[in-house]
Amino acid sequence: MNTQNIEKGDIQGLLTRAYGKLTGAVYTLLKFDDSEKAKTYLSALADRLNTCDVRPGNGEAINLALTCRGLSHLNLSEDIINTFPFEFIEGMNNDVRKIMLGDTGPNDPANWVWGGNNKEDIHALLLVFGEDQAKANEVYQREKDVFSSAGISEVLSQEGCMLPEGREHFGFRDGISRPAIEGLHPKGGESENNPFKSGEFVLGYKNEYDNYSVGPRVNAPGSQTGLPSYEPDPQYSDLGKNGSFLIYRQMEQNVPQFWDYLAKQAKDNEETIKIASKMVGRWPSGTALVLSPDKDTTNPDESMKQERVSNKFGYWNEDKDGMKCPYGSHIRRTNPRDWLYTEKKSDVATEMVRKHAILRRGRAYGKPLTPDMETNNMIEKSKELNGINDGEKRGLHFIALVGHINRQFEFVQNAWVKSPNFAGMRTETDPLIGPREVADRDLAHPDNHISRPTQANVVPCAHFTFPDKPIRKRYHNVPQFTTVIGGAYFFMPGIRALKYIAS
């Protein structure tokens, strides 16, 4: 597959760009009350959506994604809906999936603000971006005026923001590691020399298996539907082509708790930052521990240049035993690169890890703990607050795009992030985003025996260990710093597909 074959004009823009210059964002969850009117709105919206082939003009951009329930409400036939992958149909809050994802205990969908089992149906996600927040709000208001009169109600609307120097709320530079993708954005990122096949992220193209991911199709040839032919079987039309699956999880971050806990484990701020960096796998500046294990050597004046450099590293040759970047750190769990504990060869590990990549497009929400986000100031403020949150709701709109939800996002979450036994460990999960206990059943409803009718098996995972000399350091009773408060799986269709759905 080469660049020319990719229909950039039919692919929504979020797949190629994070809209980094559009610093304002509004994420709106929608519900279709009147399907016919909603279709009219979506049909018109399809022409206003930003695509990959054109840079956003007028300092604004709009994209849209639909849930499985949303597609049903738009009267898409059951035959077509059943061609979507089963995890998309089941949804993130499904009784089994939530266990697999580690959404038990505080993360349980029963506690979610949106998307939970007892919450209002979510049918669509409207993503609006503006050159600043005022512009984003203006575009959102403009759209709201239109969709409100089209039988569509707003379930929840939230702003997304970009924190100073591209940091997330704990104070670490984020969004450094992004996959290079053939035909979409082949340059930059750790995989620049070997970009990912576009089918890993966009449906209708070949993926890393040299095959096509499961996408929706219509039982009629393209000549009848106006859709492209379904490559594996031309008697069908490809409803998925140029679309992608969008994972949206809202994760609340308890920043004072994070820094206060770490400060209590350390003798001074320097050590506090070191432990935090061991948990993340990078220094707050974004410099990878593998490249600079003892102290942050980033020159602040050249930090943007170094950002690229600091992403070109592996673990196999540089840090096989985790002495620099612990096995259990956030970045090593979510992207083990060329290393897997179970594998004996780097190339096999790389080949396997590449089957589980995700394209992140999220943004923060809420005000930072301190306006400058200087790490020492955040530590002091957290100590002042004694680890109790200051009342500000802050966190991350985690948004990721994949061609296969189960193989990519769910695998990473299940086998790497929330696994207490990742890389031979026993009682720890991802220190930043992992739950502190994992269970074989729904802990909110322990009598709901969806699994074997035996006693519930709950594994506590409140440790964090990092290898050190003379021997590892282990931290106990690590609080759960991040709580999932909402989430859903969406399908972000290509423009033609959206028009078909709205027809």
| Footprint of other proteins (CB under 8 A) | 82, 86, 89-90, 95-96, 99-100, 209-211, 213-214, 321, 341-344, 348, 351-352, 355-356, 406-407, 410-411, 414-415, 419-421, 423-424, 426, 438-441, 450-454, 457, 459, 467, 469-474, 476
Task: State the minimum distance, in angstroms, from the CB of residue 441 to other proteins.
Answer: 6
Helix (H, G, I), strand (E, B) or coil at 348: helix
| Amino acid residing at 85 | P
DSSP annotation string for 65-128? EE-HHHHHHTT--HHHHTTS-HHHHH-TTSHHHHHHHT--GGG-GGG-SBSSTTSPP--EEEEE
For other proteins, the closer CB: 157 or 414: 414
Task: State the minimum distance, in angstroms, from the CB of residue 439 to other proteins.
Answer: 6
For other proteins, the closer CB: 117 or 414: 414
For other proteins, the closer CB: 193 or 455: 455
Task: State the minimum distance, in angstroms, from the CB of residue 245 to other proteins.
Answer: 15
Task: State the minimum distance, in angstroms, from the CB of residue 433 to other proteins.
Answer: 16
Task: State the minimum distance, in angstroms, from the CB of residue 49 to other proteins.
Answer: 29
Task: State the minimum distance, in angstroms, from the CB of residue 189 to other proteins.
Answer: 21
Distance, in Å, from the CA atom of 229 to the CA atom of 223, rounded to the nearest integer, reads: 8
Task: State the minimum distance, in angstroms, from the CB of residue 68 to other proteins.
Answer: 11
| Residues 109-130 as b or e (16 or more Cβ within 10 Å = b) | bbebebbbbebebbbbbbbbbb
Distance, in Å, from the CA atom of 251 to the CA atom of 484, rounded to the nearest integer, reads: 4
Distance, in Å, from the CA atom of 117 to the CA atom of 488, rounded to the nearest integer, reads: 11
For other proteins, the closer CB: 294 or 321: 321
Task: State the minimum distance, in angstroms, from the CB of residue 232 to other proteins.
Answer: 10
Task: State the minimum distance, in angstroms, from the CB of residue 110 to other proteins.
Answer: 17
Question: Can you say how many angstroms the Cα of residue 189 is from the centroid of all Cα atoms in its chain?
Answer: 17
- Residue 17 makes CB contacts below 8 A (sequence gap 6+) with 52, 55, 185
For other proteins, the closer CB: 86 or 120: 86
For other proteins, the closer CB: 12 or 207: 207
The two three-digit tokens of residue 184, written as one number: 């979409």
For other proteins, the closer CB: 211 or 503: 211
Distance, in Å, from the CA atom of 466 to the CA atom of 473, rounded to the nearest integer, reads: 5
Q: How distant, in Å, are the alpha carbons of 8, 94, 437 from that of 404?
A: 20, 17, 27
For other proteins, the closer CB: 129 or 422: 422
Q: Write out the E strands in 304-385.
A: 359-360, 363-365
Distance, in Å, from the CA atom of 200 to the CA atom of 216, rounded to the nearest integer, reads: 16
For other proteins, the closer CB: 68 or 498: 68
Q: HSE (CB half, 13 Å, CA atoms) of 403?
A: 25
Distance, in Å, from the CA atom of 291 to the CA atom of 309, rounded to the nearest integer, reads: 9
